[in-house]
Amino acid sequence: MNLQEKSIGNVLVVTPQENRIDALVATDFKGRLVDLINQGHGKIVLNMNHVDFMDSSGLTAIISTFKTVSSTGGELVVCSLGSGLVSLFKLTKLDKVFQVFPSEDLACKALE
């Protein structure tokens, strides 16, 4: 799975370069995110700008990463959700768990 990573101050912005996060790539996705946490990144913005479809496997990968980073005192927020992902977060009520920002800039500012 192709992820773009960039640091803005002490915030790491991770942008999946795929338009689908499903059961085919979810395990790899989760593994890559956990690797980043293990490398010491504690403030992560997940920019979902390119993702227009995600199933519960992808969602589970994000929840699991959120748990891992939160348990070590870090933070993970998401930004730039398309309408399909907004719908998914609402259906599962995870919009009450995750901080969701409309843009990467706003997400980064919230973590700085």
Binder of other proteins out of 29, 66, 89, 101 (CB under 8 A): 66
Contact 12, 104 (CB under 8 A): no
Q: Which stretch binds other proteins (CB under 8 A): 3-11, 38-46, 62-70, 102-110?
A: 62-70
Q: Does 93 bind other proteins (CB under 8 A)?
A: yes
Question: Of 53, 70, 43, whose CA–CA distance to 16 is shortest?
Answer: 53
Q: How many CB atoms are located within 10 Å of the residue 64 CB?
A: 14
Strand order in the sheet with 75-79: 3-8, 11-16, 43-47, 75-79, 100-101
Q: Does 20 bind other proteins (CB under 8 A)?
A: yes
Q: Does 75 bind other proteins (CB under 8 A)?
A: no
Q: Does 36 bind other proteins (CB under 8 A)?
A: no
Q: Does 51 bind other proteins (CB under 8 A)?
A: no
Q: Does 29 bind other proteins (CB under 8 A)?
A: no
Q: Does 17 bind other proteins (CB under 8 A)?
A: no
Write phi, then psi, for 94 (nearest 5 degrees): -80, -5
